Structure 1
């Protein structure tokens, strides 16, 4: 996708061009993550990212935002937002270009699956146009109560752990080591129902996760490091994503 506005159905997606655009994105993030829009959700990574805004064509309402932080390769991994929470030395040898997708959120009153599809279309365009080989980020569960997501974590343990050569290690002071400490067999239906939609999308593309979740009190989330190696995305899924990107 180029820098111009692109309309898909009832929505348009565009890249932030002005300080006003960025403030609008930060205000929606504040609402989605912290429950109010009287201030802005701002951090030190914003100036280095490309920010995407998805709006309702009919009324201009901002319904979804996310940002992309480009990295030339594994040697740059410590510049990422995720590196605050995970020890990522294993990925320092990753040879290809990377992008970290972060701060993804939708307006709390919007529950349209088309918004997520459009977001993935925009991300796919970015990945293709910039020859990205690894897409990664922190995939978040709402709240910090692990008991609500035990089936999901058990499924991640059994089916979706990162390869040992890329496995993130523990860095954050408060983590849930689900791979080593969780003993339950997952109820797969319950696991899917409680899995965050963004993480489900990563997993459908062959994504993998860290063996532990970070308990992030500031953001009121549990999150797992999640990576998708572009070359490993199933062919049918690639065709679908590229159709969304058109």
Structure 2
């Protein structure tokens, strides 16, 4: 079980001076650094109301039962991206999957095979680029293979800064191509209201959700409204068998030498 350790603060860093590496948190200080980054991104930058957050730290009851994946700058020692990983075996100790607070996962629990939930993913503002996201995914891919998981689950978030129109436009786009079959669909516990007016402008799919879809993921149905994070969440299921060979090869290639220099 992880507990709070020494304070680790995230500083503004020049991307050109960074050398990035992905790894699993090894200490309480590592976890605390991830929690501070989460607070910086979710609360300070996006204004989320995080229950249990205090003193610049985002923490909840799930954290002690998760592994925390980190993208670290080897030059400064700072944590620049993180996601937490809750396995099916650890889930009973946490009481549930995090996404069960938003969706009825009865159909998902009936699926055979080991499940891994990804959550609380965030990236430092100066490093929100394809290289950082790809490196984070390389760590997820290696973790999945090493632990023989068969399904990745999680929530993909869509900002509601401009109202619900864009969220519904993105949802409708995804449902046309990436909707799970009915036997695997989920029901939101707090449905996102439909707007009286529909946007006719093309709406870009958020990069993290787009990355999921490129890897073979599908969405579980309509979005859940998350007032605390001021976003709409889509439930996402990625069968590991759906990973296309070119992506798996890319993510796992020379994993032992996965250091990369940010451009």
- Residues 73 and 97 in structure 1, CA contact (< 8 A), matched pair in contact too: no
How far apart in 1 are the matches of 2:60 and 2:90? 23
Q: Counterpart in 1 of 2:217?
A: 207
In structure 1, which of residues 30, 41, 45 is the aligned counterpart of residue 62 of structure 2?
Answer: 45
Q: Counterpart in 2 of 1:5?
A: none
In structure 2, which of residues 116, 124, 140 is the aligned counterpart of residue 99 of structure 1?
Answer: 116
Backbone CA RMSD of aligned residues? 2.9
How far apart in 2 are the matches of 1:74 and 1:166? 20
- Residues 86 and 170 in structure 1, CA contact (< 8 A), matched pair in contact too: yes
In structure 2, which of residues 123, 131, 136 is the aligned counterpart of residue 119 of structure 1?
Answer: 136
Question: Alignment partner of 1:60: what SS?
Answer: coil
Deviation at 1:91, TM superposition (A): 1.4
Question: Alignment partner of 1:162: what SS?
Answer: coil
Q: Counterpart in 2 of 1:146?
A: 164
How far apart in 2 are the matches of 1:233 and 1:141? 24
TM-score, normalization: structure 1?
Answer: 0.83
Pick which of 10-19 and 89-98 moved more. 10-19
Deviation at 1:130, TM superposition (A): 0.8
Q: Counterpart in 1 of 2:243?
A: 233
For residues 69-84 of structure 1, the aligned pairs below 5 Å read 69-72=86-89, 79-84=96-101
Question: Alignment partner of 1:198: what SS?
Answer: helix
Deviation per residue, 1:128-151 (Å, 9 max, x gap): 011110001011112352223443
Choose between structure 1 and 2: higher helix proportion: 1
Pick which of 225-234 and 108-117 moved more. 108-117
In structure 2, which of residues 17, 24, 32 is the aligned counterpart of residue 23 of structure 1?
Answer: 32
Pick which of 96-105 and 227-236 moved more. 227-236
In structure 2, which of residues 157, 162, 187 is the aligned counterpart of residue 169 of structure 1?
Answer: 187
Q: Which has the higher contact order (CA 8 A, sep 6+)?
A: 2
Give the unaligned 5+ runs of structure 2: 1-17, 46-53, 257-263
The change in CA–CA distance for 1:25 and 1:163 in structure 2 (over 3 A counts) is same
Q: Counterpart in 1 of 2:177?
A: 159
Task: State the aligned residue count.
Answer: 230
How far apart in 1 are the matches of 2:194 and 2:180? 14
How far apart in 2 are the matches of 1:53 and 1:70? 17
Question: Alignment partner of 2:143: what SS?
Answer: helix
TM-score, normalization: structure 2?
Answer: 0.78
The change in CA–CA distance for 1:93 and 1:122 in structure 2 (over 3 A counts) is same
Give the unaligned 5+ runs of structure 1: 1-8
Q: Counterpart in 2 of 1:35?
A: 44
